A and B are shown apart, each in its own frame.
Chain A
Protein backbone atom coordinates (compact mmCIF):
# COMPACT_ATOMS: atom_id res chain seq x y z
CA UNK A 1 0.00 0.00 0.00
CA UNK A 2 1.33 3.39 -0.99
CA UNK A 3 1.69 5.54 2.15
CA UNK A 4 -0.07 8.89 2.06
CA UNK A 5 1.93 11.87 3.32
CA UNK A 6 2.49 15.55 2.74
CA UNK A 7 5.64 14.70 0.85
CA UNK A 8 3.71 12.27 -1.35
CA UNK A 9 1.26 15.00 -2.22
CA UNK A 10 4.13 17.23 -3.30
CA UNK A 11 5.78 14.45 -5.29
CA UNK A 12 2.58 13.54 -7.13
CA UNK A 13 1.89 17.16 -7.94
CA UNK A 14 5.00 17.03 -10.18
CA UNK A 15 3.24 14.45 -12.36
CA UNK A 16 -0.11 16.28 -12.21
CA UNK A 17 -1.55 13.70 -9.78
CA UNK A 18 -1.90 11.19 -12.59
CA UNK A 19 0.09 8.36 -11.02
CA UNK A 20 -1.69 7.68 -7.76
CA UNK A 21 -2.08 4.01 -6.98
CA UNK A 22 -5.63 2.64 -7.06
CA UNK A 23 -7.07 2.80 -3.59
CA UNK A 24 -8.24 -0.83 -3.67
CA UNK A 25 -8.32 -3.73 -6.11
CA UNK A 26 -11.49 -4.87 -7.85
CA UNK A 27 -11.13 -8.65 -7.57
CA UNK A 28 -13.34 -11.43 -8.90
CA UNK A 29 -14.55 -13.46 -5.93
CA UNK A 30 -13.05 -16.83 -5.05
CA UNK A 31 -15.38 -19.79 -4.61
CA UNK A 32 -14.67 -20.11 -0.91
CA UNK A 33 -13.65 -17.87 1.98
CA UNK A 34 -12.95 -18.33 5.68
CA UNK A 35 -15.27 -15.44 6.43
CA UNK A 36 -17.81 -13.64 4.27
CA UNK A 37 -19.04 -10.27 5.44
CA UNK A 38 -22.32 -9.11 3.91
CA UNK A 39 -22.53 -5.33 3.60
CA UNK A 40 -19.81 -2.90 2.57
CA UNK A 41 -20.80 -0.04 4.83
CA UNK A 42 -18.65 1.37 7.60
CA UNK A 43 -19.24 -1.47 10.03
CA UNK A 44 -18.68 -4.22 7.45
CA UNK A 45 -15.43 -2.70 6.20
CA UNK A 46 -14.16 -2.09 9.73
CA UNK A 47 -14.97 -5.70 10.60
CA UNK A 48 -12.95 -6.92 7.62
CA UNK A 49 -10.00 -4.72 8.53
CA UNK A 50 -9.82 -5.89 12.16
CA UNK A 51 -10.29 -9.54 11.13
CA UNK A 52 -7.19 -9.25 8.98
CA UNK A 53 -5.22 -6.96 11.26
CA UNK A 54 -5.91 -8.35 14.72
CA UNK A 55 -6.85 -11.95 14.04
CA UNK A 56 -4.70 -12.73 11.00
CA UNK A 57 -7.73 -13.93 9.03
CA UNK A 58 -7.23 -12.57 5.54
CA UNK A 59 -9.18 -15.03 3.41
CA UNK A 60 -12.14 -12.71 3.74
CA UNK A 61 -14.63 -11.17 1.32
CA UNK A 62 -16.89 -8.18 1.83
CA UNK A 63 -19.96 -8.47 -0.41
CA UNK A 64 -21.66 -5.18 -1.19
CA UNK A 65 -24.76 -4.96 -3.36
CA UNK A 66 -24.01 -1.43 -4.54
CA UNK A 67 -20.77 0.52 -4.22
CA UNK A 68 -18.74 0.67 -1.04
CA UNK A 69 -20.12 3.22 1.41
CA UNK A 70 -23.32 4.04 -0.47
CA UNK A 71 -25.53 3.35 2.53
CA UNK A 72 -25.86 4.97 5.94
CA UNK A 73 -22.13 5.34 6.41
CA UNK A 74 -22.12 8.22 3.93
CA UNK A 75 -25.59 9.52 4.82
CA UNK A 76 -25.20 10.23 8.51
CA UNK A 77 -24.56 13.51 10.28
CA UNK A 78 -21.23 12.26 11.64
CA UNK A 79 -21.67 12.77 15.39
CA UNK A 80 -19.23 10.78 17.49
CA UNK A 81 -19.58 10.60 21.29
CA UNK A 82 -19.49 8.04 24.08
CA UNK A 83 -21.69 9.55 26.80
CA UNK A 84 -24.39 6.88 26.98
CA UNK A 85 -26.05 5.93 30.26
CA UNK A 86 -25.55 2.27 31.07
CA UNK A 87 -22.23 0.60 31.79
CA UNK A 88 -22.67 -1.85 28.91
CA UNK A 89 -23.11 1.00 26.41
CA UNK A 90 -20.40 3.11 27.98
CA UNK A 91 -17.95 0.26 27.52
CA UNK A 92 -19.02 -0.22 23.92
CA UNK A 93 -19.00 3.41 22.81
CA UNK A 94 -15.88 4.31 24.77
CA UNK A 95 -14.07 1.36 23.17
CA UNK A 96 -15.03 2.92 19.88
CA UNK A 97 -14.02 6.43 20.97
CA UNK A 98 -10.53 5.23 21.90
CA UNK A 99 -10.16 3.71 18.44
CA UNK A 100 -11.40 6.94 16.84
CA UNK A 101 -8.68 8.87 18.62
CA UNK A 102 -5.92 6.99 16.80
CA UNK A 103 -7.78 6.08 13.62
CA UNK A 104 -6.29 8.48 11.07
CA UNK A 105 -2.76 7.40 12.04
CA UNK A 106 -3.65 3.73 12.13
CA UNK A 107 -5.29 3.75 8.69
CA UNK A 108 -2.92 6.31 7.18
CA UNK A 109 -6.07 8.03 5.98
CA UNK A 110 -7.32 11.43 7.04
CA UNK A 111 -10.72 10.72 8.59
CA UNK A 112 -10.89 14.34 9.80
CA UNK A 113 -11.86 13.30 13.31
CA UNK A 114 -12.47 16.57 15.10
CA UNK A 115 -13.08 16.51 18.85
CA UNK A 116 -14.99 19.77 18.88
CA UNK A 117 -17.39 18.77 21.65
CA UNK A 118 -21.07 17.82 21.62
CA UNK A 119 -23.64 19.67 23.72
CA UNK A 120 -27.05 18.37 24.82
CA UNK A 121 -29.18 21.37 25.68
CA UNK A 122 -31.73 21.13 28.50
CA UNK A 123 -35.01 23.02 28.31
CA UNK A 124 -36.94 21.59 31.25
CA UNK A 125 -36.22 20.47 34.80
CA UNK A 126 -36.67 16.90 33.63
CA UNK A 127 -34.02 17.50 30.93
CA UNK A 128 -31.67 18.90 33.55
CA UNK A 129 -32.15 15.94 35.86
CA UNK A 130 -31.70 13.42 33.08
CA UNK A 131 -28.48 15.07 31.94
CA UNK A 132 -27.13 15.43 35.47
CA UNK A 133 -27.77 11.74 35.97
CA UNK A 134 -26.03 11.00 32.68
CA UNK A 135 -23.02 13.12 33.62
CA UNK A 136 -22.76 11.40 37.00
CA UNK A 137 -23.02 7.96 35.43
CA UNK A 138 -20.35 8.85 32.88
CA UNK A 139 -18.01 10.15 35.58
CA UNK A 140 -18.31 6.83 37.42
CA UNK A 141 -17.57 5.05 34.16
CA UNK A 142 -14.45 7.16 33.65
CA UNK A 143 -15.94 8.98 30.66
CA UNK A 144 -15.71 12.77 30.40
CA UNK A 145 -19.00 14.64 30.51
CA UNK A 146 -19.92 17.83 32.36
CA UNK A 147 -22.77 20.25 32.97
CA UNK A 148 -22.66 23.91 32.01
CA UNK A 149 -25.25 26.50 33.02
CA UNK A 150 -27.05 28.74 30.55
CA UNK A 151 -24.73 31.69 31.15
CA UNK A 152 -21.60 29.65 30.51
CA UNK A 153 -23.24 28.01 27.51
CA UNK A 154 -24.03 31.41 26.01
CA UNK A 155 -20.33 32.33 26.31
CA UNK A 156 -19.21 29.10 24.70
CA UNK A 157 -21.76 29.24 21.85
CA UNK A 158 -22.66 32.88 21.14
CA UNK A 159 -25.05 32.05 18.28
CA UNK A 160 -27.22 29.77 20.44
CA UNK A 161 -30.28 31.51 21.83
CA UNK A 162 -29.89 31.09 25.60
CA UNK A 163 -32.14 34.04 26.44
CA UNK A 164 -35.12 33.82 28.76
CA UNK A 165 -37.29 35.05 25.92
CA UNK A 166 -36.91 31.86 23.89
CA UNK A 167 -40.02 29.77 23.48
CA UNK A 168 -38.35 26.85 25.26
CA UNK A 169 -35.65 28.62 27.28
CA UNK A 170 -32.37 26.76 27.72
CA UNK A 171 -31.59 26.01 31.37
CA UNK A 172 -28.19 24.44 30.83
CA UNK A 173 -26.46 21.68 28.91
CA UNK A 174 -24.24 18.67 29.25
CA UNK A 175 -21.13 18.61 27.12
CA UNK A 176 -18.70 15.87 26.25
CA UNK A 177 -15.62 17.72 25.11
CA UNK A 178 -13.90 14.68 23.61
CA UNK A 179 -16.90 14.11 21.36
CA UNK A 180 -17.16 15.64 17.91
CA UNK A 181 -17.43 14.50 14.34
CA UNK A 182 -15.51 12.95 11.48
CA UNK A 183 -15.65 12.73 7.73
CA UNK A 184 -17.96 9.77 7.23
CA UNK A 185 -17.07 8.55 3.74
CA UNK A 186 -13.35 8.83 4.53
CA UNK A 187 -13.84 6.43 7.42
CA UNK A 188 -15.29 3.81 5.09
CA UNK A 189 -12.65 4.39 2.41
CA UNK A 190 -9.85 4.32 4.96
CA UNK A 191 -10.99 0.96 6.30
CA UNK A 192 -11.57 -0.36 2.78
CA UNK A 193 -8.09 0.62 1.62
CA UNK A 194 -6.42 -0.82 4.71
CA UNK A 195 -8.43 -4.06 4.54
CA UNK A 196 -7.67 -4.47 0.84
CA UNK A 197 -3.96 -3.99 1.52
CA UNK A 198 -4.12 -6.87 4.02
CA UNK A 199 -5.63 -9.15 1.36
CA UNK A 200 -9.38 -8.79 1.93
CA UNK A 201 -11.46 -9.03 -1.27
CA UNK A 202 -13.90 -6.15 -1.57
CA UNK A 203 -16.62 -7.28 -3.97
CA UNK A 204 -18.86 -4.48 -5.16
CA UNK A 205 -22.10 -4.89 -7.12
CA UNK A 206 -22.62 -8.24 -5.48
CA UNK A 207 -26.01 -8.68 -3.88
CA UNK A 208 -26.71 -11.52 -1.50
CA UNK A 209 -30.10 -13.00 -2.42
CA UNK A 210 -30.21 -16.11 -0.27
CA UNK A 211 -28.33 -18.13 2.32
CA UNK A 212 -27.07 -21.68 1.95
CA UNK A 213 -28.11 -23.40 5.14
CA UNK A 214 -28.06 -27.12 5.90
CA UNK A 215 -28.63 -28.82 9.25
CA UNK A 216 -29.09 -25.45 10.88
CA UNK A 217 -25.61 -24.39 9.76
CA UNK A 218 -24.64 -21.80 7.17
CA UNK A 219 -22.23 -22.93 4.47
CA UNK A 220 -22.32 -19.98 2.11
CA UNK A 221 -24.42 -17.33 0.45
CA UNK A 222 -26.15 -17.07 -2.90
CA UNK A 223 -25.37 -13.93 -4.85
CA UNK A 224 -27.08 -12.39 -7.84
CA UNK A 225 -23.87 -11.82 -9.79
CA UNK A 226 -21.54 -14.70 -8.81
CA UNK A 227 -23.77 -17.59 -7.76
CA UNK A 228 -22.94 -19.44 -4.55
CA UNK A 229 -19.91 -18.34 -2.53
CA UNK A 230 -18.91 -20.67 0.29
CA UNK A 231 -17.72 -19.61 3.72
CA UNK A 232 -16.97 -21.14 7.12
CA UNK A 233 -18.52 -18.17 8.88
CA UNK A 234 -20.78 -15.37 7.69
CA UNK A 235 -21.19 -11.96 9.31
CA UNK A 236 -24.18 -9.91 8.30
CA UNK A 237 -23.75 -6.14 8.64
CA UNK A 238 -26.40 -4.63 6.39
CA UNK A 239 -27.96 -1.96 8.64
CA UNK A 240 -31.42 -1.09 7.25
CA UNK A 241 -31.68 -4.36 5.36
CA UNK A 242 -31.04 -6.62 8.34
CA UNK A 243 -34.66 -7.78 8.41
CA UNK A 244 -34.45 -8.81 4.76
CA UNK A 245 -31.31 -10.88 5.34
CA UNK A 246 -32.74 -12.41 8.53
CA UNK A 247 -35.76 -13.53 6.53
CA UNK A 248 -33.44 -15.31 4.08
CA UNK A 249 -31.96 -17.16 7.05
CA UNK A 250 -35.42 -18.03 8.34
CA UNK A 251 -35.76 -15.95 11.50
CA UNK A 252 -37.03 -12.57 12.66
CA UNK A 253 -35.17 -9.81 14.48
CA UNK A 254 -36.30 -7.37 17.16
CA UNK A 255 -35.61 -4.64 14.63
CA UNK A 256 -37.64 -2.32 12.43
CA UNK A 257 -36.30 -0.24 9.57
CA UNK A 258 -37.21 3.43 9.30
CA UNK A 259 -36.22 6.32 7.06
CA UNK A 260 -34.01 8.89 8.77
CA UNK A 261 -33.41 12.19 7.03
CA UNK A 262 -30.68 14.80 7.12
CA UNK A 263 -30.05 18.03 5.28
CA UNK A 264 -27.29 20.50 4.61
CA UNK A 265 -27.49 24.20 3.89
CA UNK A 266 -25.62 26.39 1.45
CA UNK A 267 -22.09 27.08 2.73
CA UNK A 268 -21.87 30.11 5.01
CA UNK A 269 -19.11 31.74 7.08
CA UNK A 270 -17.90 29.72 10.07
CA UNK A 271 -20.00 30.49 13.14
CA UNK A 272 -20.49 27.18 14.93
CA UNK A 273 -17.35 25.32 16.03
CA UNK A 274 -19.08 22.53 17.93
CA UNK A 275 -22.12 20.23 17.78
CA UNK A 276 -25.39 21.19 19.48
CA UNK A 277 -28.30 18.84 19.97
CA UNK A 278 -31.61 19.22 21.73
CA UNK A 279 -33.79 16.29 22.69
CA UNK A 280 -36.53 18.67 23.66
CA UNK A 281 -37.09 20.87 20.62
CA UNK A 282 -35.75 17.88 18.68
CA UNK A 283 -33.01 18.88 16.31
CA UNK A 284 -29.26 19.03 16.10
CA UNK A 285 -26.69 20.88 14.06
CA UNK A 286 -23.00 21.27 13.34
CA UNK A 287 -21.10 23.18 10.69
CA UNK A 288 -18.85 21.34 8.26
CA UNK A 289 -15.40 22.53 7.28
CA UNK A 290 -16.91 23.64 3.95
CA UNK A 291 -19.26 25.90 5.87
CA UNK A 292 -22.57 24.13 5.31
CA UNK A 293 -24.84 23.48 8.25
CA UNK A 294 -25.38 19.78 8.84
CA UNK A 295 -28.82 19.18 10.32
CA UNK A 296 -30.76 16.16 11.44
CA UNK A 297 -33.56 15.00 13.70
CA UNK A 298 -36.04 12.18 13.96
CA UNK A 299 -37.12 9.11 12.02
CA UNK A 300 -40.38 8.59 10.20
CA UNK A 301 -42.45 6.40 12.51
CA UNK A 302 -43.40 3.80 9.90
CA UNK A 303 -41.34 1.01 8.36
CA UNK A 304 -39.72 2.26 5.16
CA UNK A 305 -37.00 1.06 2.82
CA UNK A 306 -37.22 3.87 0.28
CA UNK A 307 -34.31 6.02 1.56
CA UNK A 308 -36.64 8.98 1.69
CA UNK A 309 -38.95 10.28 4.37
CA UNK A 310 -41.83 12.68 4.73
CA UNK A 311 -41.70 16.42 4.37
CA UNK A 312 -43.30 17.07 7.74
CA UNK A 313 -40.21 15.75 9.51
CA UNK A 314 -37.96 18.22 7.70
CA UNK A 315 -40.26 21.09 8.54
CA UNK A 316 -40.31 20.12 12.20
CA UNK A 317 -36.52 19.78 12.27
CA UNK A 318 -35.96 23.21 10.77
CA UNK A 319 -38.40 24.74 13.23
CA UNK A 320 -36.26 23.33 16.03
CA UNK A 321 -33.05 24.65 14.49
CA UNK A 322 -34.45 28.14 14.02
CA UNK A 323 -35.74 28.03 17.59
CA UNK A 324 -32.22 27.32 18.85
CA UNK A 325 -30.33 29.42 16.30
CA UNK A 326 -32.58 32.31 15.22
CA UNK A 327 -29.70 33.69 13.13
CA UNK A 328 -30.13 30.77 10.70
CA UNK A 329 -33.72 31.59 9.78
CA UNK A 330 -32.81 32.83 6.29
CA UNK A 331 -30.24 30.20 5.42
CA UNK A 332 -31.28 28.15 2.42
CA UNK A 333 -31.09 24.37 2.41
CA UNK A 334 -29.06 22.83 -0.37
CA UNK A 335 -29.58 19.09 -0.20
CA UNK A 336 -31.73 16.66 1.72
CA UNK A 337 -31.66 12.86 1.79
CA UNK A 338 -32.61 9.80 3.78
CA UNK A 339 -31.06 6.55 4.93
CA UNK A 340 -32.70 3.41 6.31
CA UNK A 341 -31.93 2.85 9.96
CA UNK A 342 -32.51 -0.45 11.75
CA UNK A 343 -33.89 0.43 15.16
CA UNK A 344 -34.05 -1.86 18.20
CA UNK A 345 -36.76 -1.49 20.85
CA UNK A 346 -34.14 -0.51 23.47
CA UNK A 347 -32.11 1.80 21.18
CA UNK A 348 -29.03 -0.41 21.58
CA UNK A 349 -27.37 -2.49 18.88
CA UNK A 350 -27.20 -6.26 18.39
CA UNK A 351 -23.81 -7.97 18.04
CA UNK A 352 -24.75 -11.58 18.24
CA UNK A 353 -24.89 -15.16 17.19
CA UNK A 354 -28.19 -16.27 15.64
CA UNK A 355 -30.41 -19.36 15.49
CA UNK A 356 -28.26 -20.42 12.48
CA UNK A 357 -24.86 -21.80 13.38
CA UNK A 358 -21.84 -19.86 12.07
CA UNK A 359 -24.06 -16.97 11.03
CA UNK A 360 -23.63 -13.78 13.04
CA UNK A 361 -25.49 -10.48 12.92
CA UNK A 362 -24.26 -7.01 13.73
CA UNK A 363 -27.23 -4.68 13.41
CA UNK A 364 -29.77 -2.53 15.22
CA UNK A 365 -27.43 0.45 15.44
CA UNK A 366 -30.38 2.53 14.38
CA UNK A 367 -29.90 6.23 14.29
CA UNK A 368 -26.57 6.24 16.13
CA UNK A 369 -24.12 3.75 14.68
CA UNK A 370 -21.63 6.02 12.98
CA UNK A 371 -19.84 6.71 16.25
CA UNK A 372 -19.73 2.97 16.81
CA UNK A 373 -18.05 2.12 13.50
CA UNK A 374 -14.51 1.34 14.77
CA UNK A 375 -15.69 -0.36 17.97
CA UNK A 376 -18.38 -2.35 16.22
CA UNK A 377 -15.97 -3.63 13.58
CA UNK A 378 -13.34 -4.40 16.17
CA UNK A 379 -15.70 -6.42 18.39
CA UNK A 380 -17.54 -8.13 15.56
CA UNK A 381 -14.21 -9.27 14.11
CA UNK A 382 -13.53 -10.92 17.46
CA UNK A 383 -16.92 -12.66 17.30
CA UNK A 384 -16.26 -13.89 13.77
CA UNK A 385 -12.72 -15.02 14.56
CA UNK A 386 -13.60 -16.93 17.73
CA UNK A 387 -17.19 -17.94 17.08
CA UNK A 388 -18.18 -16.29 20.34
CA UNK A 389 -18.50 -12.69 21.45
CA UNK A 390 -15.93 -10.39 23.00
CA UNK A 391 -16.87 -9.58 26.64
CA UNK A 392 -17.85 -6.01 25.67
CA UNK A 393 -20.21 -7.37 22.99
CA UNK A 394 -21.73 -10.08 25.19
CA UNK A 395 -24.60 -8.01 26.67
CA UNK A 396 -25.62 -7.01 23.12
CA UNK A 397 -26.77 -10.51 22.21
CA UNK A 398 -30.22 -11.08 20.65
CA UNK A 399 -30.93 -13.18 23.74
CA UNK A 400 -31.56 -10.04 25.76
CA UNK A 401 -34.97 -9.73 24.14
CA UNK A 402 -35.88 -13.05 25.69
CA UNK A 403 -34.19 -12.70 29.07
CA UNK A 404 -35.42 -9.14 29.47
CA UNK A 405 -31.93 -7.73 30.11
CA UNK A 406 -32.53 -4.79 27.79
CA UNK A 407 -30.06 -1.91 27.58
CA UNK A 408 -32.46 1.00 27.46
CA UNK A 409 -30.68 3.94 25.90
CA UNK A 410 -33.71 5.92 24.73
CA UNK A 411 -32.72 8.75 27.03
CA UNK A 412 -29.09 8.97 26.03
CA UNK A 413 -29.80 8.18 22.38
CA UNK A 414 -32.27 11.06 22.45
CA UNK A 415 -32.79 12.91 19.21
CA UNK A 416 -31.80 10.54 16.46
CA UNK A 417 -28.03 10.57 15.94
Chain B
Protein backbone atom coordinates (compact mmCIF):
# COMPACT_ATOMS: atom_id res chain seq x y z
CA UNK B 1 0.00 0.00 0.00
CA UNK B 2 1.48 3.34 -1.03
CA UNK B 3 1.39 6.20 1.44
CA UNK B 4 1.05 9.31 -0.66
CA UNK B 5 1.61 12.96 0.16
CA UNK B 6 -0.86 15.17 -1.71
CA UNK B 7 0.89 18.48 -2.48
CA UNK B 8 -2.46 20.24 -2.60
CA UNK B 9 -3.89 18.93 0.68
CA UNK B 10 -0.39 18.97 2.22
CA UNK B 11 -1.14 15.66 3.93
CA UNK B 12 -0.21 11.98 3.73
CA UNK B 13 -3.17 9.82 2.73
CA UNK B 14 -3.61 6.17 1.81
CA UNK B 15 -3.26 4.99 -1.76
CA UNK B 16 -6.93 4.10 -2.06
CA UNK B 17 -7.85 7.80 -2.15
CA UNK B 18 -5.73 8.25 -5.27
CA UNK B 19 -5.76 7.12 -8.83
CA UNK B 20 -2.72 6.81 -11.08
CA UNK B 21 -3.24 8.29 -14.53
CA UNK B 22 -0.02 7.00 -16.11
CA UNK B 23 3.16 8.54 -17.45
CA UNK B 24 3.54 12.28 -16.80
CA UNK B 25 4.78 15.08 -19.03
CA UNK B 26 3.29 13.76 -22.26
CA UNK B 27 2.68 16.86 -24.33
CA UNK B 28 -0.29 16.75 -26.68
CA UNK B 29 0.88 17.54 -30.23
CA UNK B 30 0.15 21.22 -30.90
CA UNK B 31 -1.30 20.50 -34.31
CA UNK B 32 -2.83 16.98 -34.24
CA UNK B 33 -3.95 17.25 -37.85
CA UNK B 34 -0.35 17.64 -38.93
CA UNK B 35 0.77 14.41 -37.21
CA UNK B 36 1.59 11.32 -39.21
CA UNK B 37 -0.10 8.05 -38.15
CA UNK B 38 3.25 7.10 -36.69
CA UNK B 39 3.47 10.23 -34.51
CA UNK B 40 -0.14 10.16 -33.42
CA UNK B 41 0.06 6.45 -32.50
CA UNK B 42 3.21 7.11 -30.51
CA UNK B 43 1.55 9.96 -28.63
CA UNK B 44 -1.54 7.90 -27.81
CA UNK B 45 -0.12 4.49 -26.99
CA UNK B 46 3.66 4.17 -26.68
CA UNK B 47 5.09 4.54 -23.18
CA UNK B 48 8.45 4.49 -21.36
CA UNK B 49 7.36 1.78 -18.93
CA UNK B 50 10.71 1.93 -17.09
CA UNK B 51 12.03 -0.46 -14.50
CA UNK B 52 13.32 2.25 -12.14
CA UNK B 53 12.48 5.94 -11.80
CA UNK B 54 9.19 6.97 -13.37
CA UNK B 55 7.45 10.34 -13.53
CA UNK B 56 3.74 9.78 -13.33
CA UNK B 57 0.48 11.65 -13.10
CA UNK B 58 -1.79 11.06 -10.12
CA UNK B 59 -5.14 12.42 -9.07
CA UNK B 60 -6.39 12.70 -5.51
CA UNK B 61 -9.68 11.19 -6.64
CA UNK B 62 -11.39 10.70 -3.29
CA UNK B 63 -9.88 13.84 -1.79
CA UNK B 64 -9.31 17.28 -3.28
CA UNK B 65 -9.71 15.80 -6.81
CA UNK B 66 -6.68 17.70 -8.07
CA UNK B 67 -3.93 16.28 -10.28
CA UNK B 68 -0.25 16.27 -9.37
CA UNK B 69 2.98 14.54 -10.43
CA UNK B 70 5.02 11.92 -8.65
CA UNK B 71 8.47 10.47 -9.17
CA UNK B 72 8.44 6.85 -8.06
CA UNK B 73 10.77 3.86 -8.33
CA UNK B 74 8.79 1.15 -10.12
CA UNK B 75 11.05 -1.56 -8.74
CA UNK B 76 11.13 -0.67 -5.03
CA UNK B 77 7.89 1.34 -5.12
CA UNK B 78 9.64 4.12 -3.17
CA UNK B 79 8.12 7.55 -3.77
CA UNK B 80 10.96 10.01 -4.37
CA UNK B 81 8.93 13.20 -4.53
CA UNK B 82 5.60 14.73 -5.48
CA UNK B 83 5.29 18.04 -7.33
CA UNK B 84 2.50 20.12 -8.76
CA UNK B 85 1.39 20.29 -12.37
CA UNK B 86 3.56 22.77 -14.22
CA UNK B 87 6.55 22.17 -11.93
CA UNK B 88 9.60 20.18 -12.92
CA UNK B 89 10.94 17.21 -10.92
CA UNK B 90 14.18 17.61 -8.98
CA UNK B 91 14.86 13.85 -8.96
CA UNK B 92 15.09 13.01 -12.63
CA UNK B 93 14.73 9.68 -14.40
CA UNK B 94 17.38 9.11 -17.06
The interface of chain A, by Cβ under 8 A from chain B, is 241, 243-244, 247, 252-257, 301-306, 310-312, 345, 401-404
Is B51 in the interface zone, CB < 8 Å from A?
Answer: yes
Subset of 9 A-B contacts with CB under 8 Å: A243-B48, A243-B49, A244-B50, A247-B50, A252-B49, A256-B47, A257-B51, A257-B74, A306-B77
Asked if B37 and A303 make an inter-chain contact with CB atoms under 8 angstroms apart, the answer reads no
**CB-based nearest B residue for A243:** B49
B41 cross-chain contacts in A, Cβ below 8 A: 254, 401-404
Query: A302 vs B22: C-alpha distance in the bound complex, in angstroms?
Result: 7
Asked if A401 and B19 make an inter-chain contact with CB atoms under 8 angstroms apart, the answer reads no
Is B85 in the interface zone, CB < 8 Å from A?
Answer: no
Residue in A241, A253, A301, A310 whose CB lies within 8 Å of B1: A310
Q: Per-position contact with A for B12-51: 1 when CB-CB < 8 Å, else 0?
A: 0011100110110000000000000110111011111111
Is B75 in the interface zone, CB < 8 Å from A?
Answer: yes
Q: Smallest Cβ distance from A355 to chain B, in angstroms?
A: 11
Residue among A243, A254, A305 with most chain B CB within 10 A: A305
**CB-based nearest B residue for A308:** B77
Is B9 in the interface zone, CB < 8 Å from A?
Answer: no
Residue in B1, B20, B45, B75 whose CB lies within 8 Å of A401: B45
Query: A370 vs B52: C-alpha distance in the bound complex, in angstroms?
Result: 27
Asked if A253 and B20 make an inter-chain contact with CB atoms under 8 angstroms apart, the answer reads no
Given contacts A252-B49, A306-B76, 4 further A-B contacts (CB under 8 A): A252-B42, A254-B45, A255-B47, A401-B46
Is B64 in the interface zone, CB < 8 Å from A?
Answer: no
Please tell me the number of chain B residues within 8 Å of chain A, measured between CB atoms: 29
Q: Smallest Cβ distance from B12 to chain A, in angstroms?
A: 15
Asked if B48 and A252 make an inter-chain contact with CB atoms under 8 angstroms apart, the answer reads yes
Query: A61 vs B86: C-alpha distance in the bound complex, in angstroms?
Result: 49
Query: A278 vs B38: C-alpha distance in the bound complex, in angstroms?
Result: 37
Is B72 in the interface zone, CB < 8 Å from A?
Answer: yes
B20 cross-chain contacts in A, Cβ below 8 A: 301-302
The interface of chain B, by Cβ under 8 A from chain A, is 1-2, 14-16, 19-20, 22-23, 37-38, 40-42, 44-51, 54, 56, 72, 74-77
Q: Smallest Cβ distance from A94 to chain B, in angstroms?
A: 27
8 nearest CB pairs, A to B: A243-B49, A254-B45, A402-B41, A302-B20, A252-B46, A401-B45, A301-B20, A305-B51
Using known A-B contacts A310-B1, A311-B1, determine if residue A345 contacts B75 with beta carbons closer than 8 Å: no
Asked if B45 and A303 make an inter-chain contact with CB atoms under 8 angstroms apart, the answer reads no
B22 cross-chain contacts in A, Cβ below 8 A: 256
Asked if A402 and B38 make an inter-chain contact with CB atoms under 8 angstroms apart, the answer reads yes
Asked if B37 and A404 make an inter-chain contact with CB atoms under 8 angstroms apart, the answer reads yes
**CB-based nearest A residue for B47:** A256
Asked if A345 and B74 make an inter-chain contact with CB atoms under 8 angstroms apart, the answer reads no
B56 cross-chain contacts in A, Cβ below 8 A: 302-303
Query: A403 vs B49: C-alpha distance in the bound complex, in angstroms?
Result: 22
Asked if B19 and A301 make an inter-chain contact with CB atoms under 8 angstroms apart, the answer reads yes
Residue in A244, A253, A254, A402 whose CB lies within 8 Å of B51: A244
Asked if B1 and A254 make an inter-chain contact with CB atoms under 8 angstroms apart, the answer reads no
A252 cross-chain contacts in B, Cβ below 8 A: 42, 46-49
Residue in A254, A303, A402 whose CB lies within 8 Å of B54: A303
Query: A402 vs B1: C-alpha distance in the bound complex, in angstroms?
Result: 36
**CB-based nearest A residue for B19:** A301
Q: Smallest Cβ distance from A310 to chain B, in angstroms?
A: 5
**CB-based nearest A residue for B49:** A243
B72 cross-chain contacts in A, Cβ below 8 A: 302
A254 cross-chain contacts in B, Cβ below 8 A: 41, 45-47
Asked if A253 and B46 make an inter-chain contact with CB atoms under 8 angstroms apart, the answer reads yes
Query: A241 vs B50: C-alpha distance in the bound complex, in angstroms?
Result: 9
Query: A306 vs B75: C-alpha distance in the bound complex, in angstroms?
Result: 5
Residue in B1, B49, B77 whose CB lies within 8 Å of A257: B49
Residue in B1, B2, B74 whose CB lies within 8 Å of A305: B74
Query: A402 vs B38: C-alpha distance in the bound complex, in angstroms?
Result: 5
A301 cross-chain contacts in B, Cβ below 8 A: 19-20
Q: Smallest Cβ distance from A268 to chain B, in angstroms?
A: 28
Residue among A253, A302, A305, A403 with most chain B CB within 10 A: A302
Query: A51 vs B15: C-alpha distance in the bound complex, in angstroms?
Result: 45
**CB-based nearest B residue for A345:** B45
